[in-house]
């Protein structure tokens, strides 16, 4: 009978077993979504993290296998490859320095992972997000639907949390949409934020909304300032996990995703955060919502800055 045919779990490979990578592996296992291969350049690190996670398997009663490795051959046949590898900013390093170092790391990771998982969907997390996502796509030349970047889900989740805190409502009842690049130029859209269907513009003063929007823009920096030793990782891992779940379960969820634009929003040949339907084929479609003139302008400015950085990174890689 069909019951006797063993069915293989999906496989997610996470490149970079640092804070985000290991938290993501944990999250995937807790949700029993997929087996996970954690890969890092540091010897012993991914093996240790994977073993530690596996040692909780009986307590958490999931049945995901998590292995750690330094060898891309072990990532073979992944359904999804997530790239979190990279360096954090060190004293004396400019944003450009960081970008050029991470560009090299990310391009190499994409090339090597692609050899072993040519059918995978690639999700990029490494910063600067929109630039790195473009480089991955350009390196492996996949159909654009199969390459995407995670940032919008995190930025929207931050906004949702701040709205919930302000109004004293359940965060899960709040829905928000943040578009544009991941960084100071992101474009939160209060007009499209609701609490159980009620627009927040009906529930909050404009000044309050502006304050919350500003806090969202600086969400990453606020955490870095508190932690001192690195950036956020729990909410980023949860955000990436949501996208992975939407893909593996073919949920067709509408999530803000850094996707390749081919004329949408008047933009071409760029990865930028826009609302996407995520399903088993990756980015199933891009939704073009109506933007006001000033919102369009803000998106253009965000796009311009991403484009400039892509050029810097490409000239450095050449
Ligand atoms: O919204 C978003 N997209 C983001 C992005 C939210 C949070 C973090 N964001 C970015 O993700 C952050 O700015 C970094 O660029 C990445 C990873 O953040 P994380 O906090 O996980 O950084 P860590 O803890 O320093 O981990 C990076 C790991 C570390 O273990 C390195 O040894 C490894 O990457 N690394 C490599 N792995 C494989 N191959 C190579 N070449 C390599 N170089 C470093």
> Structure tokens of 318?
């050449």
**175 carries an active-site annotation:** no
Span 236-275, pLDDT tens digits: 999 999 999 999 999 999 999 999 999 999 999 999 999 9
What is the Cβ-side half-sphere exposure of residue 257, based on CA atoms within 13 angstroms? Answer: 34
> Structure tokens of 299?
């998106």
For the Cβ of 236 lying below 6 angstroms from any atom of ligand 1, the answer is yes
Ramachandran bin of 265, using left for φ above 0, alpha for ψ from -120 to 50, beta for the remaining angles:
left
How does DSSP classify residue 249? T
Span 147-173, pLDDT tens digits: 999 999 999 999 999 999 999 999 999
Judged against a pLDDT cut of 80, whether residue 95 lies above it is answered with no
Instruction: Give 90's pLDDT tier (boundaries 50, 70, 90).
Output: confident
Which atom of ligand 1 has the smallest separation from the CA of 149? Answer: 3
Find the catalytic residue in 26, 182, 304, 316: 182
Judged against a pLDDT cut of 70, whether residue 220 lies above it is answered with yes
88 CA distance to ligand 1 centroid (A)?
A: 7
For the Cβ of 258 lying below 6 angstroms from any atom of ligand 1, the answer is no
5 CA distance to ligand 1 centroid (A)?
A: 38
d(CA 149, CA 122): 8
Burial of 3 (0-12, 13-18, 19+ CB in 10 A): exposed
Span 277-296, pLDDT tens digits: 999 999 999 999 999 999 99
d(CA 313, CA 120): 25
The CA-based angle 118-124-130, given to 5 degrees, is 125
Judged against a pLDDT cut of 60, whether residue 1 lies above it is answered with no
102 CA distance to ligand 1 centroid (A)?
A: 9
Sign of CA dihedral 125, 298, 266, 157: positive
Judged against a pLDDT cut of 70, whether residue 17 lies above it is answered with yes
- Residue nearest atom 18 in ligand 1 by C-alpha distance: 20
Residues 97-115 have a mean pLDDT of 96
């Amino acid at each position: 009978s069909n019951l006797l045919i063993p069915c293989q779990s999906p496989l997610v490979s996470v490149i970079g077993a640092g804070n985000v990578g290991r938290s993501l592996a944990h999250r995937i296992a807790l949700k029993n979504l997929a087996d996970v291969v954690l890969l890092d350049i540091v010897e012993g690190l991914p093996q240790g993290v994977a073993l530690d996670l596996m040692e909780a398997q009986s307590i958490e009663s999931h049945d995901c296998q998590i292995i750690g490795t330094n060898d891309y051959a072990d990532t073979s046949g992944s359904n999804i490859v997530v790239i979190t590898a990279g360096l954090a900013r060190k004293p004396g390093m400019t944003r450009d320095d960081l970008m050029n170092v991470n560009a090299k790391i990310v391009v190499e990771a994409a090339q090597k992972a692609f050899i072993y998982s040519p059918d995978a969907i690639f999700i990029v997390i490494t910063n600067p997000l929109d630039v790195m996502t473009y480089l991955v796509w350009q390196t492996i030349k996949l159909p654009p639907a199969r390459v995407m970047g995670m940032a919008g889900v995190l930025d929207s989740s931050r906004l949702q949390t701040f709205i919930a805190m302000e109004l004293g409502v359940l965060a899960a009842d709040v829905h928000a949409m943040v578009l544009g690049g991941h960084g100071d130029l992101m474009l939160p859209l209060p007009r499209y934020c609701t609490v159980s269907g009620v627009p927040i513009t009906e529930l909050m003063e404009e000044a309050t909304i502006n304050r919350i929007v500003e806090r969202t823009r600086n969400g990453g920096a606020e955490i870095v300032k508190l932690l001192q030793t690195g950036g956020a990782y729990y909410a980023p891992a949860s955000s990436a996990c949501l996208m992975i779940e939407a893909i593996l379960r073919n949920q067709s969820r509408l999530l803000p995703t850094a996707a390749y634009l081919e004329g949408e929003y008047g933009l071409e040949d760029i990865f930028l955060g826009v609302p996407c339907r995520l399903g088993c084929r990756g980015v199933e479609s891009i939704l073009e919502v109506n933007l006001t003139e000033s919102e369009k302008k803000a998106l253009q400015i965000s796009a311009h800055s991403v484009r400039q950085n892509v050029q810097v990174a490409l000239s450095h890689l050449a």
